[in-house]
Structure 1
């Protein structure tokens, strides 16, 4: 998206460099990515960087509302509430489509947001390997707020581990070795110093949790949570005997599971910004828009596998039996802004925040990107294309 940087990058690219880049990531993490990593990062011009940060901060302002917990009290399904929710999430990720405004300027449009950690350790491994194997201009950065590679991992370690013994903090997931994101678990152990533990490996004694670390029963004081609890609920029967995480346990959560639901599609109708598509809870929709073809209907929760309705009709809206569990949202049109040797591509940019307990506001630290040439964004939808897949951004600052 920075034309001169894009042109220079495409000219320097060779498949040998790309293969060395992939090997560099695998050597650093100790395992190869189980998803396609794009041949290129995304180069974000200063004007778009400014808009992305503005959009994020406007969203953060809503999360900071004193009544945020009360307006999102119905966001958490009653059977998925976990005790001991804290006052704020420790991680927030905000996803934007890159679009073009009517005048042709680039602009972000909110797609999704989550109070949940994602790929925080691995994303800097990826960015570092892009810098190692390609000529990334020095004035562009994958970090924000004066952070560098050393201070980035220091911040993560301080928030995830803090003053606790690292062996008493675990990354918790269900069947971690089967997850496509497991390269991040390896990087988390390397750079943060904590082990990944499967839910089925937890041992409960009263309210306390333990796990076997090299054969030694070790207490768990803090969980760096990577479990999505509605997924857990679907898999619960096939997991066999395992600890019930919905009970009163003597453990601290980073991030507490309830925030996954509070900061989600449920939040979007409360956000009023030029960078956020208009959204309504369906039961609060004042009138069905005349241009309904420009809207999508999204379930707040995936009940019985129900998905997004893209070509919405008035009959679809009338047929919804639980309108309080759906939102109607203006469609977002991705712009093909990334020029590649095999044709233009679209992209999403994920802005990644951490929120230490000592900070009055979340801190923007890193990013993630997904590049696609199809209708769907996501690393699982790009199996045959090239110059697509998971990536990261390097930002120009004004």
Structure 2
């Protein structure tokens, strides 16, 4: 499908190379199988992680320790092409790089960085991020998971987390817990006694992704397990901002994939002796879908350039996540209507993207949270309490 706005013409040669390399990997290694993965509710993380590591997309926006150290727009372009394959694939990369590697890179000790980051960048070790709890999703300040130091100096971790991508396949979890000094982050190897991560089943969204609960039953951790560089909600919220940035790019890929499928279908599906793409109502749908993809891509590119300039704010990230996810979900639903009954089968990517986007709408901050974030920025008044 032609890029009428020629947005990618503004990418650098290196950024276009990253786009093409990631797209080829998704085309060759993911698209032939992802429908089956979705239907069977599996994600071959151990097989794909080294491939993604060799591409340099795991922690690609971080510097050192085997990470690519690339700019924010490059990372965004990679997320776009990954999610054009499946939201679960981009989620794996986002969680690995922005939620598990980033806090270790930003707030960890030298020993924690050396132990985990090179292996995670290579895809040899998988990470997860424990913040959301069964009773505290949008309100992490009131989390119940807690860690207490005993007389030996060890930390004793107790509590539970929920909706954790990569949880049951992770080698390490970055877990946030209440302490006497406020919320702290802990680097928790998954083989630590008392740690368990049962997988959540019967999902109808993000089926090609591993989603788990985490349980901590008197998990004993050495003093060196705590992330020394941050205290309070600033730590987990900064990680969420990193992940949300990848999402606002990624959903453009999902939306584009739905639009491309709808355009191709409309040119070959014949009704009343002509392709349905020749009907005015279909063309109106396609035109508005394309406008939505283009506007979302321009938003992502603008925010990426702000991030590269060191000027991106959490409020701007909320704008991008709110606007682009909603646009992508609307585009997926319109594409489904153009494909009619065929739109609900996994022969086409549309229903898979549409179902996935229902999860993307609410994870990393629900739509309502981002609305209130923007409302507070506009009025100076806090509507959260």
By the TM > 0.5 criterion, same fold? Answer: no
What TM-score do the two structures reach when normalised by structure 1? Answer: 0.27
Q: Which structure exhibits the higher relative contact order, with contacts defined as CA atoms closer than 8 Å and separated by 6 or more residues?
A: 1
Q: Which has the higher helix share?
A: 2
